Structures are given as C-alpha cells and as structure tokens.
Structure 1
Amino acid sequence: MNFAKAKRIPIESIPVIDIAALTGGRTDPAAELTVAEQMGEAANGVGFFYVRNHGVPEELIKAAFDISGRFFASPLEAKNSVRVTEKKRGYIEPYTGIMKGNTRRDFRETFLWGREFDRPTLDELASVPLVGPNQWPEFLPDMKPVLNDYFEACVEVGRKILRAFALAMEIEPGYFSGNFDRCIARGSALYYPPQPENLGEDQFGIGAHTDWGVLTLLCQDEVGGLQVLSGDGEWVTAHPIPGTFVVNVGDCLQKWTNRRLLSNQHRVVNSSDRYRQSIAMFVDPDFDTPIIPVVRPGETPRDEPTTCGEQVMDSFRKAYD
C-alpha cells in the first residue's frame, strides 16, 4: 500500500485514563493529583493518551458528528457560503493548508468555530485576532446550537484537565485554567476523504505537526488514520477507542510547564475506502494570557515568554495562505 507507514501497536498499550475524579462533580484533591500524574507519565511515555469518563454526553457527541457530516456532504457552493474569515471562522476547502516541514498541502476539509460571544463583546474585541462572529450555514440551522453546546462542554472538560496539571506541579490550581472569559478556544470539525494510493507516501490528510495552543481534545470516528510520534521517535497508530478523547498537550502548555509536559507530533492518513470524521477542540484561554515558563528553584526557563494568542497566530501564519 502506497501510504505513509506507521507501526500498528496493540490497543492495550495505549494509555486510557479514567478522569471521573476530575469531572464527577466531587472535589477530591488526592484523586485529582493521581489522575494528573497518570496523564503526565503517559504524555512522556508512548507520547499521547486518551481519557474516558470525560463527562461530555454521548448523545451530544453523536449530534455534533451528525450535523458536521451533513455539512461536509453538502455541495461545495453551499459550504463556501460560510467561507473562512480572517478571524478563522468558517469553511476551509481541501488543499488549503500545509504544515511547516511538509511538502504537500493537506487532503481534508475543515469547519472552524469559536465561542458565541454577544454583539457588544464582539465589538469590544474587534481588534483581537481569533475572536469574531461565527459563520453558520443558513441551510443547516441546527448546526449552531449543536456545535455551540459541544464547544462549551469540551472547554469545561479541558479546564478541569488543566486544573489537575496545575495541582501536579504544586502551583495555584487555576493557574492554567483561569483566563477563559474571552477565550480563543476553537472547534475544528474535520473531514478526510479516502486518500487514493497514487498520491504517494508524502500525502497526508493533515501533515505532521504539533498543536499550537494549550490543550487539544480530539474525538475521532471508527475509521482510524491518526498516527502519533511516540516517545522513542516511531510513528504509531492511534486507534479509535469508543467513549474517549485523545488528549494532546499543545506548544503553549509545553512552554508554560518548562517542557515538563511535551507537545508531540501527529498526522492523519486515511488509507481506508471510507471518509473519516473527527472533531478537535483547541482549549485555549484569552488571547493575551501570558505564557511564562513555570520554573522551580534553580531551574532555567527553556523558552522565551510569549502569549497564547501570539503563539497560535504565528503558527497559523506558517500553516495557511
């Protein structure tokens, strides 16, 4: 098969972490700390991990996938009625993005959306990149309420994971998760057509990259195709596991934790004969949130200070026209 190669690892070798202690509604610092330690170990072992008992209702996940699938199945002219804006809201056609270090443009379609701010807030934040009005298609009126509900549910889960990481680092629990009132968090519904073999081993649904922000929650369908660079430098398959999110630490959180948590590379190759769907939630705080490495006594910061917004926008500029 003429596709990029990856080692197929056993499902049981993938860390699947139960985070009910974070999402169950009862505060138990010891249980939260245990979960955080498990996540940190996994992020530096096989290179990625999954979470279950995350608290996002299964019926909401199904509704988000169903409405996204209906959108992507629509004619191109209809999808382009909500063509992506400079605020990174709306539809992106295939062969538009190219990740840094890759040679060919990505073979996928994307729909981006963010928090649904009211008009006064949008006017106040008009000059802030990555904050703007969403582009909702008139031909699918249900898309707005479903994806907005999905967005808020995932941001809440992401903030609980970030709180646990802060507890593990013995810093203020809200240090990573406090600035989300006007967040630049984004949802990305993704559609990967079956990839013809004749496109070769250097064609990807999305090329190798790290995520740019703080934390990513990825929900994927049963088709598969996600590949992750493991801790020993080998590309491995990230099998679909029902009821879970794949969790990626982003570049911002790697810097914020002075590289205690690692932002790992991943890519997608849809070598099946079916389309593949996934939804990525980029759980990022307010644009001007300082990203200053948290160092212990005697440590040296390994990265220069930045802000969440600056980091993400710099990566956007490198990845898209």
Structure 2
Amino acid sequence: MPVDSAIISLLKLNPSNVSSSRASSAGGSATSTSSITATLADGTEKKYFLKMGKGVEAEVMSMGEHESLTAIHNIVPTLCPQSYGHGELADTPGQFFLITDFIDFSPRSSSSPQARSQTLAHKLAKLHTTPAPTPAGYLKPQFGFSVPTCCGNTPQPNTFTSSWADFYANHRLRFIDAQSKKSNGTDKQLEEIIAQTCTILVPRLLGDKHLKHGKGVTPVVVHGDLWSGNASLGTLPRMAGPEEIVYDSSAVYAHSEYELGIMQMFGGFGREFLAEYHGLVPKTSPEEEYEDRVKLYEVFHHLNHYAMFGSAGYKRGAIRIMEDLLGRYGGSVGET
C-alpha cells in the first residue's frame, strides 16, 4: 500500500525505502490504522504507527492526540509512543493522519526487569507530580489544554481556566450535558441533577479554597481516557524490553485524581496499583473525601458514554452517583 506524500515529507523518508500494511479500523469507528516500515539513511529499519480518518472530526482527533502524546512524552518518554506529527493527506484531501512510534505489544508474562521497576504506577506518579507548563500569555499554570481533545469520539473544550472547580463544572459536566441533549434529546431529570452537581457538589468537593487546606491543586498532565484498553505491555524504540505503555490519550492539565475516575469506572488496575501509586502520589486532602471525589470524576465518563452510545445504563450510573453524593453533601434531587 503506498504511503501518502505528506507523510513521506513529514518524516523525511525516501519513498523507495518505505512500505506499509493496513491493520484495521480502530474502535469500530471510521478511523483506520496501518504500520509503516522505513529503511533510514543509516541503513537501520524503523517502524511507525499510522492512524487515519476522514473529515473535521478526524482533524480535531489527530491534532488532539498528537498534542496529548507530546505532553506526556515530554515528561515521561517511556510512558507513551512519541508522536511525529499530524495533518491532512496530500494525495487524499479531506483525510487526516497521526503518525507515532509503533508499539510492539507483549503478553503480561513477558515483562522485563525494567518494567518491574518502572511500573505503570511509577510512571503515572512522575506524570502526575510534574506541574503543567505556564501557557503563553498567563502568569501561572492553568487547567485546560492548548487544543480540544477527544475522549472517545467526543471533542472536548479545553479553554484555559484558573479554577479547577470551574473547569470541571463548565468544560466537562455542563459541556457533556449539552452533548447528551444533542445525541439523546432533552432530559429534564438529567439536566436538573447535573445543574445541582455543578452548583452544589463541585464547589463543595473540588473548590479551590477547600482542597489542600485552601491551597488548591496544581494542574498536571493526565492521560484523560485511561481505561485498561488504553494501557498495555509493549516495547517502544530505545527500550531494552517490554514496559508499561499508554496510548490513545485525551490529555488535559487537571487535578491528578481526575485520572482515577475512568480507571475506577472500568476497573482493571486493582488495589495493588492504587497502593503503589498513592505511596508516590498522596491522596489530596481532605483525604476522607478522596473516594467521593473520584466518584464525582467518574460521573463525566458515564455521561460521555451515554452521549456517545445512548445506553440507559450509563445514564443510570451517572444519576446514581450524583444522587448519592448530593444526599451526603447538602443537597438532593429537587432542591436548589
């Protein structure tokens, strides 16, 4: 299969020394994936991973994933594949691509000594304890991200915001409520409980003057869509053996515990992981509210899946969490 000239130009490859093979459609969407094998000028062989899609959604997705992987890779290079770029195909206008390192996946039983010392918990801890950079035009790090990112197929607004509580209420919960209306129609019960969650729960549990004894939290890079299907054991270039790797990122500068919402929702990481992780990244104070904060972060992912797939089970899951938390933190459905 020929490799598009835009990719050849981006990677500065000799087209006569490049071959590719199509892999599959990714995630049941219109996105397709391929591998590219190139012989470099020094005679060595290098393999790349190519993801392609059509239209504006694919353009937003490829840009967001490129910036996400770059933000993670800049802090923990062994945690994710390096992204080399994204753009529009030259030979097939209207189609967009993302090109990254190829991951050579391995079974869990084949972990290397390096993998056992640099576990996923250790790598995430490094990511989650490194303060976000200060965006141009700002005086300090902000919550948000430089571009929209896609969680699943949902393009998320990431407007820089100084308050984490404001960011989560407006750019995650209220935003996904609006997305759900577009996908599933008006739902007064859902709209009301999300509104109460934003006005009662978010300030109560995530308020800047509440967390860390009034110091608030520092924005850090999070993967943003870290369920077990986006983490595996594999080998990247310059690795001696298989290590824990993540991919398909939807990064945002956020509260580190935001990462744990989807990890808890779908499971697959377990108590051992959490014990090791929190030995390196202590729970934010007040610690007694930790589980409730993670539940509150989980709400977004239930709502996002409801917006994407329309499954009533995801809506029920979100409502159940919000009702429980509102009942314990000064509000309940129907109250204002």
Is TM more than 0.5 here? no
Which structure has the larger Rg?
A: 2
> Higher relative contact order at CA 8 Å, sep ≥6: structure 1 or structure 2?
1
More helix by share: 2
